[in-house]
Amino acid sequence: MHIEIHPISTAKHKIEPASSKLAMAVEFGNSAVVIKYGTVLSFVMVLLAYWLRPPVRDTLDGRLDTVLSSLLRAERKAGLSDFARPRVAIGFGGCVDIIVDGVTLLNKVGLEPSSQPLHHDYIENAEQLAQSFAYFFPPGAASERFVMNDTLFSQLVEASRELPGNRWSLGGNAAVMASRMALEGCEVLLGADFSPELTDVLPQQITVVGNVVEEPDIHLILEYPSGATWGQYTSKRANRFIVHSDDHNPYLASMEAFERKLKDFHPDLLVVGGMQMMDNFPFRKGEREALLDRLAQLLDSSSPGMGVHFEMASFVDEGLLSELLRLVLPRADSLGMNEQELPNLLSLLRGGSVTLLSDPNPRVATVLDQMRELYRLVNRQRRDSGSGRPLTRVHVHTLAFQAIIVTRGSQWKNTMSATAKASLTANRHVCGSPDINLSKAKLILDESFSVSRREGSQRIPLQETRPVSCWHEDDYEVCVAPVLVCTEVYQTAGGGDNISAAGLVLQI
């Protein structure tokens, strides 16, 4: 298929034709204008640009500065009104995160770097933990595994408690998204089994429904910076490996109370996340499917005017994934995911199997092609089966950039501002500060990106004053924003949830 790009003429963010040798058809209304660039002309332009270029260092600083102020301006263009705070219901679960430096913890418990990087669906002993870490740490791919050995998990938690520099924070997809949305001004209903202490640390605008438990679930977050070493292994980018041994979250035990409360809460948006806590959990036969069936009914009984967002996660359990694909995904209008989760989901939709590891630093063109395919496949399946809601929104967060596609004429507003906000949130979260410090930021997106891997595809230059590029294709709008990548990492865990939630807030 040929991808035709239609600049959005009403928006200020017009696509400027790139100075390439390609012939491009840029359509304005009905009249197509074909612009051809001669090789000679672009050569002259490159030379001219080279001469006019100030010293590298200045350009870089000035460039970052302009990108930041432009992103901030784009974010501010769409604010929440104080009169009508969006109402968001979020399920399910939450936990306490203990955040430690992964390599320091493994050294402390005396775990030697495994010479055999291996992936395991779940972890039964220390050797499998070492092999799993050796598998995901070098490429720097986010991953999350269930530990099916209480002794081992308690040992790890105890060791983490004693580790200098450890931190505790609220965790779990649903709970983190709930906090982010509350902090951004939404009224939030969260379905989770929490202890009173955990409920106390939540922002006020969150109402928690679910069972009160004494000991909330604990997740152990093994963070590592870019370039960290563990024996013969070096991490290519900052990320984390998460292990947990949940007792409450996999059962979605708050679902009933959540459903009862939902009727009066009248949410504008319902968010479903935290489903990966069911991944490789030792359920009794049929138990998991029954839970997801209940969830499907809950989604079906919700009003059609209410949007449903599903947040993907690091899934490896094919049984769980196929149930999610059958029962939950078709009931969502909007999907959020990272660069690992996108190819994984796509592979399953194409009838393939789980992909464990994908490029942790994919190009824009690759991700956009995958998003287009996801959008088309899902919507075709839904049309063919005559059931489910059309998929009208996909948000993919990667280290280098944010990309959102939204069906034109759907309920989602402010896509350009939402993409900018998602991008800013990535830096704020990873650097651990709401104020972005440019000495801790860098752009890793190239000067321009291609909109598709197809030969002859248009390139879009990254313009510092208009860093968010938006355009129309088919029946949807695409927006891409570069991320000011944080170079002094405070925390990566919870990044995707904060980013996804921040993007959603402006689109409700």
Ligand X SMILES: *[C@@H]1O[C@H](CO)[C@@H](O)[C@H](O)[C@H]1NC(C)=O
Phi and psi at 268, nearest 5°, equal -80, -30
Least distance in angstroms from the C-beta of 12 to ligand X: 27
Cβ proximity to ligand X, 221 vs 479, nearer residue: 221
Q: Is residue 395 classed exposed, middle or buried when 0-12, 13-18 and 19+ CB atoms within 10 A define those classes?
A: buried
Q: Which of 42, 66, 107, 125 binds ligand X (CB under 6 A)?
A: 125
Q: Which of 179, 370, 410, 414 binds ligand X (CB under 6 A)?
A: 179
Q: Which of 116, 151, 204, 385 binds ligand X (CB under 6 A)?
A: 151
Which residue, among 474, 464, 491, has the nearest Cα to 60 in the 3D structure? Answer: 464
Q: Is residue 135 classed exposed, middle or buried when 0-12, 13-18 and 19+ CB atoms within 10 A define those classes?
A: buried
Q: Which residue is nearest to ligand X (CB)?
A: 179
Q: Which of 428, 451, 481, 500 binds ligand X (CB under 6 A)?
A: 428
The number of residues in the chain equals: 508
Least distance in angstroms from the C-beta of 180 to ligand X: 5
- Per the CB < 8 A criterion, the answer to whether 320 and 278 are in contact is yes
Written as six digits, the tokens of 452 are 């598709």
How far apart are the C-alpha atoms of 32 and 357, rounded to whole Å?
Answer: 42
Q: Is residue 182 classed exposed, middle or buried when 0-12, 13-18 and 19+ CB atoms within 10 A define those classes?
A: buried
Cβ proximity to ligand X, 240 vs 428, nearer residue: 428
Cβ proximity to ligand X, 474 vs 488, nearer residue: 488
Alpha helix (H) residue ranges in 9-149: 39-52, 56-76, 102-108, 126-136
Q: How many residues bind ligand X (CB under 6 A)?
A: 21
Q: Which of 74, 88, 126, 206 binds ligand X (CB under 6 A)?
A: 126
Judged by CB under 6 A, the chain residues 440 through 499 that form the site for ligand X are 440, 488, 494, 498
> Is 439 a residue that touches ligand X (CB under 6 A)?
yes
> Is 437 a residue that touches ligand X (CB under 6 A)?
yes
- Per the CB < 8 A criterion, the answer to whether 188 and 90 are in contact is yes
In the stretch 68-107, what mask flags binding to ligand X with x, by CB under 6 A? Answer: ----------------------------------------
How far apart are the C-alpha atoms of 354 and 338, rounded to whole Å?
Answer: 15
> Is 149 a residue that touches ligand X (CB under 6 A)?
yes
How far apart are the C-alpha atoms of 231 and 113, rounded to whole Å?
Answer: 6
Q: Which of 68, 100, 106, 170 binds ligand X (CB under 6 A)?
A: 170
Cβ proximity to ligand X, 406 vs 502, nearer residue: 502
> Is 421 a residue that touches ligand X (CB under 6 A)?
no
Least distance in angstroms from the C-beta of 403 to ligand X: 20
How far apart are the C-alpha atoms of 61 and 72, rounded to whole Å?
Answer: 17
> Is 152 a residue that touches ligand X (CB under 6 A)?
yes
Which residues contact ligand X by CB under 6 A? 124-126, 149, 151-152, 155, 169-170, 176, 179-180, 425, 428-429, 437, 439-440, 488, 494, 498
